[in-house]
Structure 1
Amino acid sequence: MENMPEVRFARTADGVRIGYQVFGPGPGRWRAPVLVWMPSLSNIVAQWRIPAMRTAYEGLARDLTVVLYDGRGTGASDRDIDLTDLGVEAHLLDLIAVLGDAGIERANLLGYYHSVATAIAFAAREPARVGRMVLFGGAPRMREAMLPAQTQALLSLVDQDWSLFADAAATAWLGWDGAASGRWTAEAFRTATTPAIAHAWFEAASRIDVTEDLSRVRAQTLVLHRQSSQQIPVEIFRRLTGALRDARLVELPGTTPTLFLEDVAADLGLVTGFVTTGRVGRVSSSGPVLTRREQEVLQRLAAGDSNAEIGRSLGIAVHTVERHLANIYRKLGVASRTAAVAHALRP
């Protein structure tokens, strides 16, 4: 793929080959701070095709040396793995192998969803090797991050229809519903791994619990939260922040449960600023703001109601429903009823 960093390979202590990339201003002697973006189910090669992800990678690499890697069983890493051993210890072996192969003694960590627990465990056990941490979307008890009904519904598709799971995750779960981004995001999910490995990953994740490691973490930590009210409650992240010695929680504006999408410049500035200086910049709100009535219309739309049924339910005329829908489409930046429903179903 054009302008994509070379994929390198590290070997873990238990013999698994891990694919990874290093890019940014600091190869060799690491002149820039190193940020390791730790994986959930990933495919680092396919993710470069997603416009929002490429923008995020290139934005981070302006000031940081960025390391991406695919965990065992996913992406460019070995698929022939022990499916009964996908707990935090196995994920730690992947991270340690990448750091060792790349010659990185000390790094900053971006724990993202599944890898939040792994980042916490590594920071607790190897404090001298971790500078700062940014944590997003996961929890020390991973089952708490997997409890929302919508997440459970999506996970049920893993065994039933892998292709449908990839499409649904790209739209509702990670929030990419634009034609190009949605297509490439679904492809990244679809090619990240196999249904059997994904099932084993999520099954193992539901048993991961690193709460006992929290008190031993010394790294300065930024906990970020951006979720809709239907998804992971902010209280989980407040408890996580309170259990860490030096942590700050920032509740980001918006409802799309990912970084570097709703306000890419603000997210990049926040993460880069914290990693390089330890300071947290001012957080602005630039996401779409729906009125209470527009939120009610969108909820009825997501429930499958027709315009006439929405009108009867809310006691308003059909032409008023149509006007609200036009405003909703404009604010959300979508062009269809289906895209609006996908937005409403995002975590």
Structure 2
Amino acid sequence: MDSQPEVRFARTADGVTIGYQVFGQGPPLVWMPSLSNIVAQWRIPALRAAYLGLSQRMTVVLYDSRGTGTSDRRIDLDDLGVDAHLRDLHAVLDTAGLTQASLLGFYHSVTTAIAFAARAPERVERLVLFGGTPRLREAMLPAQTQALLSLIDQDWGLFADAAATAWLGWDSAASGRWTAEAFRTATTAPVAKAWFEAAGRIDVTGEVAAVRAPALILHRQGEQRIPVEASRRLAQALPDARLVELPGSTPTLFIENLVADFVTGGRVGRPVSGAGSLTPREHEVLRRLAAGDSNTEIARRLGIAVHTVERHLSAIYRKLGARGRSDAVRLTLG
């Protein structure tokens, strides 16, 4: 479980050391960080599966932003805006020898991905954006998010546990435990506080129209932390973007094939080979879907996690070319 790529190091223009990993083969995809610890994240079963799945078709680059994980912890806490995050990304790309790559922006790093694509268009092949907005304070407004952020000063360990469950929605003991550990070891409470305060001031709205790279915007249909209207506005504002609303209610993203199809060939949601390509487990999930079960009910009946159900549903929809639950049932079961 602990086997993972070696950690390499890049040096930013302002002298900060950034830890990063490179693995897989194919077109490069940089999975950009939020609060991260790339070493600890490999111990999270779903994340590890996602990394390995993507690496079968792409060269994947992971890195820790300044102040987190394997990167320098001693940093200027007054310099955590988008320009600082862009320096981290530049350093990783240059040190890894990547003149061009696709970027996966996840929560906080959505703004960094947009800004980099606007300012260095020749270096960005495609964008995949999930769980963020050009104006980061919009992503931090929900009451649940504010309550969670208030824990940073009070109890860092409790914040990590709550972030893994209430915020990121991990429902299995193993994933929840390792996700909490990844949060706990990602940084310190003072850095996290400064990090989120700076995030609330980041706004790249004025740069969205300058992005030329094709973009795939992903949104969980049941997501309450980022309203779907925010994802729709982002898709409309970007010059070349496609919005895909995914099944499920948890705010995590593990849909390796959809991302890989887009990054390697620009394809989105095309059917592969119909119902005949479904795995036995996917057929079981589809049968429970046809019976009207919710994701939680399917998980309980099959003895799997809700996250796993959502991954199966994403694969089912992709393989069938279905737009959603009822469409998948109609296409296969009549």
Residue type of the partner of 2:207? D
Number of the residue aligned with 1:14: 14
Please give the residue correspondences for 1:231-270 in structure 2 after superposition, counting only pairs within 5 Å.
231-260=225-254, 267-270=255-258
Deviates more, 1:222-231 or 1:187-196: 222-231
Number of the residue aligned with 2:98: 104
- The answer to whether the aligner puts 1:218 opposite 2:223 as a matched pair is no
- The answer to whether the aligner puts 1:37 opposite 2:50 as a matched pair is no
**Cα distance, 1:107–1:327 mapped onto 2, change above 3 Å:** closer
The separation in 1 between residues aligned to 2:5 and 2:146, in whole angstroms, is: 35
Deviation at residue 149 of structure 1 after TM alignment: 1.2
Deviates more, 1:279-288 or 1:152-161: 279-288
Number of the residue aligned with 2:45: 51
| Equivalent residue pairs, number | 293
Number of the residue aligned with 2:170: 176
Number of the residue aligned with 2:266: 278
Residue type of the partner of 1:3? S
The separation in 2 between residues aligned to 1:193 and 1:209, in whole angstroms, is: 24
- Secondary structure at 2:69's aligned position in 1? coil
The separation in 2 between residues aligned to 1:24 and 1:251, in whole angstroms, is: 28
Number of the residue aligned with 2:114: 120
**Cα distance, 1:160–1:217 mapped onto 2, change above 3 Å:** same
Match of 1:130 among 111, 124, 137: 124
Cα distance per residue 1:173-206 (max 9 Å; x no partner): 1121211111111100000000000011110000
The separation in 1 between residues aligned to 2:171 and 2:189, in whole angstroms, is: 23
Residue type of the partner of 2:36? S
- Secondary structure at 2:250's aligned position in 1? coil
- The answer to whether the aligner puts 1:188 opposite 2:182 as a matched pair is yes
- Secondary structure at 2:218's aligned position in 1? strand
Cα distance per residue 1:108-145 (max 9 Å; x no partner): 00001000000000000000000000000011000111
Residue type of the partner of 1:43? N
Residue type of the partner of 2:7? V
Residue type of the partner of 1:184? W
- Secondary structure at 1:231's aligned position in 2? coil
Residue type of the partner of 1:179? A
Q: TM-score, normalised by structure 2?
A: 0.82
Unaligned segments of structure 1, at least 5 residues: 26-31, 261-266, 296-325, 336-347
Cα distance per residue 1:259-283 (max 9 Å; x no partner): 11xxxxxx11110000000110249
Residue type of the partner of 2:21? Q
The separation in 1 between residues aligned to 2:71 and 2:301, in whole angstroms, is: 40
Contact kept in structure 1, 2:223 and 2:250, CA below 8 Å: no
The separation in 1 between residues aligned to 2:196 and 2:303, in whole angstroms, is: 32
Residue type of the partner of 2:162? A
Residue type of the partner of 1:223? I
Residue type of the partner of 2:260? T
Number of the residue aligned with 1:24: 24
Q: TM-score, normalised by structure 1?
A: 0.79
Deviation at residue 228 of structure 1 after TM alignment: 2.8
Number of the residue aligned with 1:160: 154
**Cα distance, 1:282–1:75 mapped onto 2, change above 3 Å:** same
Contact kept in structure 1, 2:156 and 2:184, CA below 8 Å: yes
Contact kept in structure 2, 1:112 and 1:138, CA below 8 Å: yes
Number of the residue aligned with 1:330: 300
**Cα distance, 1:241–1:329 mapped onto 2, change above 3 Å:** closer
Contact kept in structure 2, 1:227 and 1:257, CA below 8 Å: no
Residue type of the partner of 2:90? I
Contact kept in structure 1, 2:156 and 2:189, CA below 8 Å: yes
Number of the residue aligned with 2:322: none
The separation in 1 between residues aligned to 2:200 and 2:70, in whole angstroms, is: 24
Q: Hey, which bits of structure 1, 4+ residues long, moved more than 3 A?
A: 282-289, 326-329, 331-335
Residue type of the partner of 1:137? G
Cα distance per residue 1:63-90 (max 9 Å; x no partner): 0000000000000000000001100000
**Cα distance, 1:64–1:144 mapped onto 2, change above 3 Å:** same
Residue type of the partner of 1:270? L
Contact kept in structure 2, 1:227 and 1:256, CA below 8 Å: no
